[in-house]
Amino acid sequence: MLRLALLSLLVVGSGAFVTTPALSAVRTQRATALNLIMTEEEISAILSKANGCVESECAVSDVDDLIAELRDQQKVLSARLENIMNAVAHLQAANAAGDKRKTDDVRSIVKDMLRVFTTGLAGRAASRLQGRATSIASRTYSSTRPANDRIVIAVGGNALQRRGERLTIENMLKAAADMAPTIASLAREHELVLTHGNGPQVGELALERSAASFDVLGAESMGQIGYVLAQALSSAGCPTAPVICQVVVDMQHEAFRDPTKFVGPIYGAKEATALSQSFGWIMKPDGEYFRRVVPSPPPVEILQVEAIRTLLEKCPSVLPIACGGGGVPVSRVPSNPRTLVGVEAVIDKDRCGAKLANELDADGLIILTDGGGIWQNYGKPDAREMKLASPEYLLGTKAGKAFPGSMGPKIQAAIDFVQNSTKDDAWAAIGDLRDASKIFGNEEGTLIKKFSHSNGVVWRERKKVATGIGGPKLSSDQHKSG
């Protein structure tokens, strides 16, 4: 710290960091390396307290004041050093884009970097949920996360397996690379935790190693997917920390009596019968095909939640990847609660994401799908999508039955998060992965939160131009209440 103070003092005294004519458009403040090292005022405050101690009795209170000043400055310096690290990361990414490198983009980053470093105009997004554009400076270089902006994002395992493609690491890496820029961009604006599904991946592992315990296969798939996501996000300039989480479940839950969670690839009727006879798997229809099902109990306790909280608080530039696939299901031994045993089940990743969001006191939960938000009469000519819905309205529709398939658990997870949150303005959103950035402004997808409306729902009204697997493809952006 003293070395930094002396260095800053020398910088101020020698007139370093004076701008060149090429940078004259950027106003400096008395040649001080603002947002890089220390300002004259900060140096003076520390030296004043230090001199006061040296020239007086150096009482306990004097030293305490000096320590407090140094600690405050340590926090400021850490933030400024992180600004430099972020600038390096994003300049490297923009400069090494190969054929896609755009000089204007690089120049824009450099200009905004100069504004942050020499004038302190870092800025902040005017509104995180209104979908307004933000400056590159606030999006890229702010090391202090916006207040009240902690969000858990749940991505389905199918996001890493394109329809019609084989489930291979190469294809997963390609899919992750397509998704990474969107997630990385959001991570620069918000304090994120990323969770993901693992249905296709863990099912494939089970097919390859039928004798392996399902909890172990789940842990393997989490490591596999965590690695793939970390690779892709790192290339997009977003550092990550994958965390394999153990999640306690209740062995007496009804889910163990009636397995419903689909895992693995789809099969024809004959192949499904053969697999059931060979491995004892329970197979159920999923549309025109069959898939394996396993118990899917709700999460009771996430054992690594404090580690994730520490990552968020101590490493704000790092994106935790946690509770993948709903976490590794474990149960406590009744005679010795500290002893854990693995459970052959799959915890629904959206329900686990909701619990994680509640335990982290998050402000929002986003569940990304490959089919948009919540639709009434999904896939039919008269289908319509909800823009906004209250938990009470969705509960009144008996979400799990009114919205069959995989959407029911997602809706229930959104309801759970909003209702169990300690924050009155907590919100959840369900929408298409491709529209992730627009979901924040409620331009796409469905927003679930507490609000006063006679019907508890606001519908999107758009002109239908086609129908397809995700319901009608729509145009226009008009909405109505109903």
What is the CATH number for 379?
Answer: 3.40.1160.10
Query: Which of 68, 84, 119 corresponds to the end of one domain?
Result: 119
* 154-196: pLDDT as tens digits: 998 777 776 677 888 888 898 899 889 999 989 988 999 999 9
Asked if pLDDT for residue 466 goes beyond 50, the answer is: no
User: Rounded mean pLDDT of the chain?
Assistant: 77
Query: Among the listed ranges 43-52, 107-116, 121-130, which one has the minimum average pLDDT value?
Result: 121-130
* 275-289: pLDDT as tens digits: 899 888 889 999 899
Q: Which residue in the list 35, 83, 86, 157 is annotated as catalytic?
A: 157
Please report which confidence band the pLDDT of residue 352 belongs to, taking 50, 70 and 90 as the band edges: very high
Asked if pLDDT for residue 477 goes beyond 60, the answer is: no
Burial class (CB within 10 angstroms; exposed 0-12, middle 13-18, buried 19+) of 459: middle
pTM attached to this predicted model? 0.64
Mention every residue, 6+ apart, whose C-beta is less than 8 A from residue 391.
414, 415, 418, 419, 448, 450
Q: Does some domain include residue 137?
A: no
Q: Does some domain include residue 127?
A: no
Q: Which residue in the list 410, 431, 445, 471 is annotated as catalytic?
A: 410
Domains identified in the chain, total number = 2
* 363-400: pLDDT as tens digits: 999 999 877 899 888 778 888 889 999 999 998 875 54
Q: Does some domain include residue 133?
A: no
Residues 99 and 227 in one domain: no
Burial class (CB within 10 angstroms; exposed 0-12, middle 13-18, buried 19+) of 2: exposed
Which residues span the domain enclosing 85? 2-119
% of the chain at pLDDT higher than 90: 37
Residues 63 and 205 in one domain: no
- Collapsed DSSP state (helix, strand, coil) of residue 287: coil
Query: Which of 103, 119, 135 corresponds to the end of one domain?
Result: 119
Residues 9 and 102 in one domain: yes
Q: Is the torsion defined by CA of 195, 423, 371, 445 positive or negative?
A: negative
Residues 266, 249: Cα–Cα separation, whole Å:
27
Q: Does some domain include residue 10?
A: yes
Q: Does some domain include residue 128?
A: no
Per-residue pLDDT, 398: 57
Q: Which residue in the list 349, 355, 387, 449 is annotated as catalytic?
A: 349
Residues 308 and 417 in one domain: yes
Known catalytic residue at 410: yes
Mean pLDDT of 130-134: 29
Per-residue pLDDT, 359: 97
Please report which confidence band the pLDDT of residue 13 belongs to, taking 50, 70 and 90 as the band edges: very low
Residues 113 and 158 in one domain: no
Tokens linked to 157: 């395992």
Query: Among the listed ranges 134-148, 293-307, 324-338, 408-422, which one has the minimum average pLDDT value?
Result: 134-148
Q: Does some domain include residue 136?
A: no
Please report which confidence band the pLDDT of residue 310 belongs to, taking 50, 70 and 90 as the band edges: very high
**Could you give the count of Cα atoms lying within 13 Å of 436 in the half-sphere of its Cβ?**
26
Residues 219, 222: Cα–Cα separation, whole Å:
5
Please report which confidence band the pLDDT of residue 234 belongs to, taking 50, 70 and 90 as the band edges: very high
Residues 214 and 271 in one domain: yes
Residues 174 and 115 in one domain: no
Residues 188 and 96 in one domain: no
Q: Which residue in the list 261, 355, 387, 449 is annotated as catalytic?
A: 261
Query: Among the listed ranges 239-248, 255-264, 304-313, 472-481, which one has the minimum average pLDDT value?
Result: 472-481
Per-residue pLDDT, 199: 77
Per-residue pLDDT, 131: 30
Residues 110 and 67 in one domain: yes
Residues 115 and 162 in one domain: no
Residues 208 and 274 in one domain: yes
Per-residue pLDDT, 3: 46
Residues 102 and 36 in one domain: yes
Of 95, 75, 315, 355, nearest to 187 by C-alpha is 315
Q: Does some domain include residue 12?
A: yes
% of the chain at pLDDT higher than 70: 73
Please report which confidence band the pLDDT of residue 452 belongs to, taking 50, 70 and 90 as the band edges: confident
Q: Does some domain include residue 134?
A: no
Q: Which residue in the list 35, 83, 86, 158 is annotated as catalytic?
A: 158
Query: Which of 82, 101, 119 corresponds to the end of one domain?
Result: 119
Per-residue pLDDT, 121: 40
Per-residue pLDDT, 300: 96
* 406-443: pLDDT as tens digits: 788 899 999 999 999 999 899 999 998 888 888 888 88
Known catalytic residue at 157: yes
